[in-house]
Amino acid sequence: MVHGTVDGIRDAVAGLRDARRTVALVPTMGALHDGHLALVRRARAIADAVVVSIFVNPLQFGAGEDLDRYPRTLDADVAALAREGVELVFAPSAAEMYPEGAVETSVVAGHVGSLYEGASRPGHFDGMLTVVAKLFHIVQPDTAVFGQKDAQQVFLVRRMVADLNAPLAIEVVPTVREADGLALSSRNRYLDADGRRAALALSESLAAAEAAAGEGLDEVLAEAAAAFGDHEAIELDYLVVVDPATFLPVDEEATGEATVLVAARVGGTRLIDNAGIVLG
Ligand code: AMP
């Protein structure tokens, strides 16, 4: 069930296609948690067979980021996926994905890719879209499933699929949270007890934004930012309200559906979260 080579996963997927089974792909970087498994369950519900990719993509990490210490738990991941009934796991090495070392040709994310996460992590979205395009070409799924947790990623993947006429559907699953509101993330395991408490500022700021949504943008931003005042161990990176259709910041007159994006640092760990609100 686990394939480490492009040829191996292609042959296995060809077998599924010969049996006229539809295929859903769930791209991940591993260190799987219940958020990933929610994507897998959605994939199982909408397709006959599920392929999960596990690849910590060097191309989307910047210098000084956590590429080397990113958690790698392949055996546990594969066991969890087997329990979920996943047919195929694609877990290539970096050399398998990038045999030439670097890529000469890549996907460029455009303006929205330079904002928010892209401003804090230059080149991140080019690297992410490039590997997602490669995975789409390798697996050729009918559907690929992503988490709303990474809202800017979802926007950019949808845009790439539209711009490049990629022949697949994109399915998005709501963010899975701990009971206290913290969004599940592979990076949560970096947090110590203090950091774990401080990390609650993200979901608290989103709840505050939601509560203030009827009072307009300025109030939303003020209330959401105030949530960070309660926690010393966390430093706000960005807090912005965007139009879900364009992913550009909304102005003070905006009404209707909007997305609040927040990112913060807890020690050396960057965490992100987002929520939909209705500006009144
Ligand atoms: P990652 O392994 O962090 O690259 O994430 C792989 C996929 O899982 C992405 O589509 C993420 O958006 C999604 N994901 C990560 N955390 C969550 C979560 N808490 N809830 C839902 N989806 C998630």
Q: What is the pLDDT of residue 232?
A: 85
Residue ranges of the binding site: 29-36, 60, 147-150, 153, 176, 184-187
Q: Of all protein residues, whose CA lies closest to atom 10 belonging to ligand 1?
A: 146
Distance 37 CA to ligand 1 centre (A): 9
Does residue 227 register a pLDDT over 90? Answer: yes
- Positions annotated as catalytic residues are 36
What per-residue confidence (pLDDT) applies to 24? Answer: 98
Helix 151-163 / helix 124-139 crossing angle, nearest 10 deg = 60
Taking the C-alpha atoms of residue 223 and residue 217, their distance in angstroms, rounded to an integer, is 10
Length of the chain as a residue count: 280
Look at residue 230 and tell me whether its pLDDT is greater than 80. no
Q: Is the CB of 57 under 6 A from ligand 1?
A: no
Tell me the CA–centroid distance for residue 41 and ligand 1, in Å. 13
Tell me the pLDDT band of 231, cut-offs 50, 70 and 90. confident
- Which run of H or of E encompasses 35? helix 34-46
| Res 265 pLDDT > 80 | yes
Which architecture characterizes domain 186-275 according to CATH? Answer: 2-Layer Sandwich (3.30)
* Average of per-residue pLDDT across 158-179: 98
CA of 171 to the centre of ligand 1 (A): 13
**Contact yes or no for 274/247 (Cβ under 8 A):** no
Q: Which of 107, 72, 78 is nearest to 90 (CA)?
A: 78
Percent of the chain with pLDDT over 70: 100
Q: Can you say which residues are annotated as belonging to the binding site for (R)-pantoate?
A: 60, 153
Q: DSSP E strands: which ranges in 110-247? A: 143-147, 169-173, 234-242
Annotated domain spans of the chain: 2-173, 186-275
What does the pLDDT look like over 14-55, one tens digit per residue?
999 999 999 999 999 999 999 999 999 999 999 999 999 999
User: What digits encode the pLDDT tens for the residues 135-156?
Assistant: 999 999 999 999 999 999 999 9
Whether ligand 1 lies within 6 angstroms of the CB of 186 is answered as: yes
Q: Could you give the 3-state DSSP secondary structure of residue 57?
A: coil
pLDDT greater than 90 at residue 239: yes
The predicted structure's pLDDT at residue 127:
98
State which fold the 2-173 domain adopts.
Rossmann fold (3.40.50)
pLDDT of residue 81: 98
Q: Is the CB of 132 under 6 A from ligand 1?
A: no
Question: Cα torsion for 216, 177, 189, 236, to the nearest 10°?
Answer: 0
The mean predicted confidence, pLDDT, of the chain is 97
User: Ligand 1 in contact with 275 (CB < 6 A)?
Assistant: no
The model's pLDDT over 61-95, given as tens digits with 9 standing for 90+, comes to 999 999 999 999 999 999 999 999 999 999 999 99
**What pLDDT shows up at residue 223?**
97
In whole angstroms, what is the distance from residue 194 CA to residue 214 CA? Answer: 33
Helix %, strand %, coil % of the chain (to 5): 45, 20, 35
Q: Which of 108, 117, 9, 114 is nearest to 55 (CA)?
A: 9
Q: Does any ligand 1 atom lie closer than 6 A to the CB of residue 166?
A: no
